[in-house]
Structure 1
Amino acid sequence: MASETLAPNVTALAGASWPGAPVQDVDARGKPGDDRARTEAPAQDFSLFLRRDPAGQAEMAFAVEGIDCAACIDEIEDGCEALPGIVRARLNYTTHRLTIGWDARAEPAPARVLEALAKAGYRAWPFEADRLEEIDNATSRHLLRCLGVAGFAAMNIMLLSVSVWSGNVTDITPETRDFFHWLSALIALPAAAYAGQPFFQSALRALKARSLNMDVPITLGVLLALSVSVYETLHHAEHAYFDSAVMLLFFLLAGRYLDHAMRRRTRAEAGNLAALKAVSANRIEADGRLVTVPAAAVKPGDEVMLRAGERAPVDGRVLSGTASVDESLVTGETLPRHVGVGGTVHAGSLIHDGVLRLRTTAAGEDTFLDEIERLLDKASTARGRYIRLADRAARLYAPMVHTTALLALIGWLIAGASLHQAVLIAVAVLIITCPCALALAVPAVQVVAAGTLMRAGVLINSGDTFERLAEIDTVAFDKTGTLTLPDPSLSDTSHVPAPLLAAAARLALASTHPLARAIAVAHPDALPLAEVREVPGAGVEAEIDGVTARLGSPAFCGCEALAAARADAAPDASLVAVRLGEACAVLEIRQALRSDARAVMDELRDAGLAIVLLSGDRRAAVAPVAARLGVTDWWAQMRPGDKIAVLESLDAKGHGVLMVGDGINDAPSLASAHVSLSPISAADVTRAQADAVFLGEKLAPVAIALKVARRARHLMRQNLMIAVVYNLIAVPLAVAGAVTPLVAALAMSGSSIIVTLNALRARQGGRALEKAKEAA
């Protein structure tokens, strides 16, 4: 495409696009505006929230309130897809975002979807991030208040209960015992009424929808325990069960608050993708004027100007100018790419230096950045459909508990027992089968295993990470920032004279260019120069002891011939020249492999795992890395959608894939993979999609995580089996009337202690893993 002349009132901005093309003069008039055009509209105006997907179908996103467990996913999706005209419904459990698609030629669907959700007991509204954040904050505060009330009540009731228990075997009088029971009632009843709201409301919604969830037996158990306790207190009985009811609420609320906090943090980090979108754009009008407009106002065909430090608001093709562009969104490559006339720039790319004039090829929701966001949401929704081990057990557990308790009640009434005695036996069945052991079976192992991994440098983001990690048979790695260190580094400089190296280090301190930073980091003792001049698009120069020194592109330093002779330079290396008087040298800057990368690859192969490499970088840069690591299956120049396609093909063949990546362009594939890890240096959006992140500059935590996960899954299954065996023994005793509610509460606590002690075995080998990490 031919270069076009810039408007005469535009001058050149300083920059250092090393190695750069000729500098172009442009005017820096007018800063991007900070105001964002925003239209507030009533929620019922659905047209403002509709969009068409690439297939031409209408699509709309809703925020859904009242989702408490993974079982809600199937209920909501199946209910919506049963509506006429709806072709798909996908719910993201983490963000509570429901995406509905329907035939655009059919009757509009939003009102029917809202009506169906309301009948099922869910509140919904068109998805707006700000409103969702407000609701989320309110929910978090409510859960925390409920937890505080339950904890305060449980402590005080337990203090009274211990006095009653000890007094029953010594010398407590009936009057004193009744007094303590009534004090417990005065604390427990209002506390349970407030703190139990999250469970009571969830159970009520389930019953209205003619379904059962785990909150139904919890609600029944709490209400019956409180009712029987009041009855027993009225009749001066020795035992009441206020403590059991409130303690159960406290522990369950603690788990629900932690789950909510984790999902809230994940949503916040995932939302950082919006920060990469430019709010405004510098549009060049037909008469040559430069006008700052909202990014949403730019249309395909419009011309925009990008300046140093700005993010591209649109996808476009360069009409004129040169610049150094960070396009890690596209390739994952952290080294900047030189862009000139005819080159392409994607929305979200950061202009390090120089000035570009673009003709817009895609804007609004059609840009590459929005494509990543849509891929990310779609992949997150798909992975959210994974059913956890505990959830699978819970689906069968709830109806079995209700049926058993009901049959016990009816059976004893038929056998001639009094209503009081029959109810006590039914309550004992509900208490003894209370899902504490089942609820602790998996989380207890998760907590202990997560602590073991934390000491080994791995931080867990998702509750079911261990289950999915233990199921994988293939590991897919990104290259840049994952197999290599995140920041470029200076290669071997033994051939560079010391005076030239010292001059380069001092000059590098005056530049913000990524290549200059790599030189400065390698020489932390270098002293800055008093006066340094930056030459736009070329480099920096200064006087050192009366001699002119330059650092920048080979052309700027007059070292083209020396750079051309560097046939031994790595394909993925960038060459930077330094000149001091007449002396000249070329420095090589590249991404260095993590020190233990080869050892970890060998360890994974020995564990029976297949390894693939998925990179957005050039083939010339990927091939040598794959060869050094012994990886035979590798792909280069991959866009985010291409990586997802490879992962889906592996999944279709029955492979469970662990994806390890760090770039923003890796976020959709991390969300799409069966399980995922990222280094702590990854972008916020990427870390939010990863199931775990690892610390440090070594790759060993990846292998350690797999070992711990396999042991954790084994212990989880053992705990579930313990819970089943416990119920097989305890339930018949409770149904036979041989167990009082108090003994049932003690048995329930005992089963919880057993599974917790078994979970502590996940710490075994933790020290060995830490030593292995240090040795690596």
Structure 2
Amino acid sequence: MSHYSIDVPISGMTCAACASRIERVLSRIPGVEAEVSFANETARLQFDDQQHTLTSLYEKITHTGYGIRPNVQVWSVPGLASAGQTGPLQQQLQRLPLQHWQLNLADETVQLSFLPGLLQEATLVAALGKAGFVASLVEGQTEAPAPGFWQQHGRLLLAILLTLPFLPGMVSMLLGSMHGMLPPVWQWLLATPLQCWLGAPFYRSAWRAVRAGAANMDVLVALGTSAAYGYSLWLWLGEGSPHLYFEASSAILTLVMLGKALEGRARRQTQAALMALAQLRPQQALRWSDDAQDWLSVPTRQLQTGDRFLLRVGDAVPVDGQVREGEGILDEAMLTGESLPVGKQAGATVFAGTVLQAGRLVCEASAVGEATQLGQIIRLVQEAQSSRAPIQRFADQVAAWFVPAVLGLAILTLLGWWACGGSLSQAIPPAIAVLVIACPCALGLATPTVIMVGVGQGARHGILFRHAAGLERLARTRQLALDKTGTLTEGHPVLHGRVSWQAGLSAETILRWSACLEREANHPLAAAICRAAGAAESLPLRAFQQVVGEGVRAELEVEGQWRTLQLLAAARVTLPEAAAGQVASWQEEGATVVVLAEGETPLGALALADPLRPGGREALHWLRTEGITPHMLTGDQPRTAEAVARQLGLEAVNAGLSPQGKAERIQQLKAMGPVAMVGDGINDAPALTVADVGLAVASGSDVARAQADVTLLHGRLTDVVAAIDLSRATGRKIRQNLFFALCYNALGIPLAILGQLNPVIAGAAMALSSVSVVSNALLLKRWRPPL
């Protein structure tokens, strides 16, 4: 079985009921999994491409009454303007699965429109090559162009102009007077173009929904406004009554259009974080050309693995790569959160989106496109924003039966008022109000808009949520398990202390001699000692010997004499009482001690320790004050683990655990409440899987990140606090939105049934309900980390 996954932009959805309808239709197909998001208007499809084609699934979506937004690309085709060259090109384009194509001879480009996933760039390049052209994609033209002003705002502005003349009459009606009402013919002339032309999209959408056996918000709007408009015509032409409802149908349509415009604007703002990430990647790059023997500016998309590219001061790195020549200083704050710039030289790694602040670098591309670290971050944020939180299922279930239930209530309201002795003119307004006031849009937007903002805020602060479920579950955490090495500590040893016990030898000499011995070793402690010694003079060395578990031995030439020295674990050397006390003191602090000896005589010692990550004590204090109990889970020896715990003020310590032992301890902690696990290594993967929520440090292993629900790019313990606090803030916003949406309908529908709600007011309330929940979601953008 071969699985294929794609995110498809959907057009024509007007409320959550539309998304639910598409999802139900697609999910009934064997071998197809679908997740449709009304908030960002996409459908994530996963299917067995041995059983189904993308085209067949697109046909299912369009048959349901909705559309697929095409991709629009502009390709540069040098030589297109030459006479007689368009014929072969047009023949090749006709053979491709294109919806539309257009040649522009003036600037030698071709614009192509095609459905997502149906045309690969390699296929297009090959087709153009058969026609004798070498084409390149024009950067920044890979999606449908933004709609023009008329398409976005023109219809709304015209609807407002047609509705404004009704305003004096509506105000008079609210004051109990008929003054200011327009003559019936003028009311009809203003309402008809609004109802039949500007309101046509509501009818088209409603017809598609009904034809597909579903009902959405547009069905309610079309029925309500048509009833008001049609009944007004009957009263005017049939009975000559001056009490018409043209103003109601016009105002309702205009208010709904206004609400959709405001809602769309607010929803676009929820994607600001994703757009900011995408803009970090430059559109152009300087690539070395063997033919031209020079650096040529090319679209970043054209860079391939192995290509060499040039970075000058101020340039953003286009793709991930390795430095081959030069030295420079890069700002990597967007990836690591480190405010200080990082020096780079030959052999160092550079990441897409970072900026060269000083120097000049020649790099070789090692990962391009979505394979770069920035590309993976963008993809992760996209997937998380499109995923569905468990709490959203409740809203989707309500939205699925909401519209049919409202239709039934409207009919019962009409019949009830008529049966209770009222005239048809008294029964229709309450029924229209019921149709207009009840809208599942607010309910459908309540959760996904908050998820989109929450995931975006996390990405801005270096916290990547893999899916919405992890964002929701993290808020319920009551037990937090923390790996020690690489999570509570930096994960690499540094020099903690040095001492000389031999007269005439300084502590600095002990360090220098030790570094000379360790330069041939391949142990992490050896690397730490060499880093601490820095550029100190290296002495001649011979007869080097490394004994696993003990240390190193060698002969070192000092001032013309060969001295036999050994650097051993403290337990392997017999120490005087004073020296033993010093070693014990360091070990109590969690340090590893190595002793430099000559024969049986100890000359001095070095203490090496894994430093704590900054902000650890503050983070643990915040967790305890918020009712979360932290636990250390480590495979290290108890003495070292307890020393680290003392420095952090951490009480619950579980040391000497195997990877399986960590997972078993997580299972035990679950009896005390939901558990989150923070780790970075391969040995943490089982525990990350077993925990209710797994958080992985980005600098850790790929295996750990693959098993985690949340990735912490900056690796700080304070980021764990930020992730939990953001999760809680997101949960609060979701509950607020669901409360607003449910209360709005729970209060509005009874008032409409009882005739206490004017249809125009109902239309305004319905339009503002969706805007209110999206605006409340946007307030989450004010969130800041507590530490």
Which residue, 150, 154, 160 being the options, matches 2:169? 160
Other-structure match for 1:379: 384
Other-structure match for 1:479: none
Other-structure match for 2:288: 283
Deviation at 1:217, TM superposition (A): 1.3
Confirm whether residue 207 of structure 1 aligns to residue 216 of structure 2.
no
Amino acid corresponding to residue 373 of structure 1 in structure 2: I
For the residue of structure 2 that corresponds to 1:111, the secondary structure is helix
Other-structure match for 1:189: 192
Give unmatched runs, 5+ long, in structure 1. 1-54, 448-457, 459-464, 477-553, 559-590, 614-622, 664-668, 684-698, 734-738
TM-score between both structures, scaled by the size of structure 1: 0.52
For the residue of structure 2 that corresponds to 1:338, the secondary structure is strand
Other-structure match for 1:115: 59
Other-structure match for 1:405: 410
Other-structure match for 1:346: 351
Deviation at 1:338, TM superposition (A): 3.4
The change in CA–CA distance for 1:248 and 1:701 in structure 2 (over 3 A counts) is farther
Percent identity over the alignment? 22
Where does 1:305-704 land on structure 2 (aligned, <5 Å)? 305-309=309-313, 310-328=315-333, 330-383=335-388, 387=392, 393-407=398-412, 421=423, 425=427, 428-432=430-434, 434-435=436-437, 472-474=475-477, 605-608=624-627, 635=678, 653=692
**Bigger strand fraction:** 2
Where does 1:171-182 land on structure 2 (aligned, <5 Å)? 180-182=183-185
> 2-side partners of 1:721 and 1:145: how far apart?
33
Give unmatched runs, 5+ long, in structure 2. 75-112, 114-140, 450-459, 461-467, 481-531, 537-611, 633-642, 653-675, 700-704, 715-720
> 2-side partners of 1:445 and 1:361: how far apart?
39
Deviations 1:162-212, CA, capped at 9 Å, x for gaps: 44676768xx8xxx97x6344333322323334434433332221122111
> 1-side partners of 2:444 and 2:23: how far apart?
26
Deviations 1:247-303, CA, capped at 9 Å, x for gaps: 333333232112211233444652344433353343375998766655445444x35
Amino acid corresponding to residue 156 of structure 1 in structure 2: P
Confirm whether residue 67 of structure 1 aligns to residue 27 of structure 2.
no
> 1-side partners of 2:441 and 2:72: how far apart?
34
Amino acid corresponding to residue 12 of structure 2 in structure 1: G
The change in CA–CA distance for 1:88 and 1:250 in structure 2 (over 3 A counts) is same
Amino acid corresponding to residue 739 of structure 2 in structure 1: R
Deviation at 1:378, TM superposition (A): 1.9
CA contact (8 A) 1:436 1:752 kept: yes
Confirm whether residue 225 of structure 1 aligns to residue 239 of structure 2.
no
Amino acid corresponding to residue 431 of structure 1 in structure 2: A
Deviation at 1:159, TM superposition (A): 0.9
Confirm whether residue 724 of structure 1 aligns to residue 750 of structure 2.
no
The change in CA–CA distance for 1:720 and 1:193 in structure 2 (over 3 A counts) is same
Q: CA RMSD, aligned part only?
A: 6.6
Other-structure match for 1:481: none
Other-structure match for 1:9: none
Confirm whether residue 151 of structure 1 aligns to residue 160 of structure 2.
yes
CA contact (8 A) 1:244 1:745 kept: yes
> 2-side partners of 1:751 and 1:78: how far apart?
30
> 2-side partners of 1:194 and 1:134: how far apart?
29
CA contact (8 A) 1:161 1:243 kept: yes
CA contact (8 A) 1:273 1:373 kept: yes
CA contact (8 A) 1:409 1:423 kept: no
CA contact (8 A) 2:399 2:444 kept: no
For the residue of structure 2 that corresponds to 1:324, the secondary structure is strand
> 2-side partners of 1:372 and 1:593: how far apart?
24
Deviations 1:338-378, CA, capped at 9 Å, x for gaps: 34444333334433344445454333443333322322322
Deviation at 1:224, TM superposition (A): 0.3
> 2-side partners of 1:258 and 1:612: how far apart?
47
Where does 1:706-725 land on structure 2 (aligned, <5 Å)? 710=732, 713=735, 717=739, 720-721=742-743, 723-724=745-746
> 2-side partners of 1:141 and 1:755: how far apart?
25
Deviation at 1:433, TM superposition (A): 5.4
Other-structure match for 1:695: none
Other-structure match for 1:96: 41
> 2-side partners of 1:257 and 1:202: how far apart?
17
> 2-side partners of 1:626 and 1:77: how far apart?
53
> 1-side partners of 2:152 and 2:299: how far apart?
39
Deviation at 1:435, TM superposition (A): 2.0
Pick the structure with greater CA Rg.
2
CA contact (8 A) 2:334 2:354 kept: yes
How many residues align structurally? 543
Deviation at 1:402, TM superposition (A): 1.0
For the residue of structure 2 that corresponds to 1:283, the secondary structure is strand
Deviations 1:24-43, CA, capped at 9 Å, x for gaps: xxxxxxxxxxxxxxxxxxxx
Which residue, 142, 151, 176 being the options, matches 1:142? 151
The change in CA–CA distance for 1:611 and 1:750 in structure 2 (over 3 A counts) is farther
The change in CA–CA distance for 1:57 and 1:646 in structure 2 (over 3 A counts) is same
Q: Which has the higher contact order (CA 8 A, sep 6+)?
A: 1
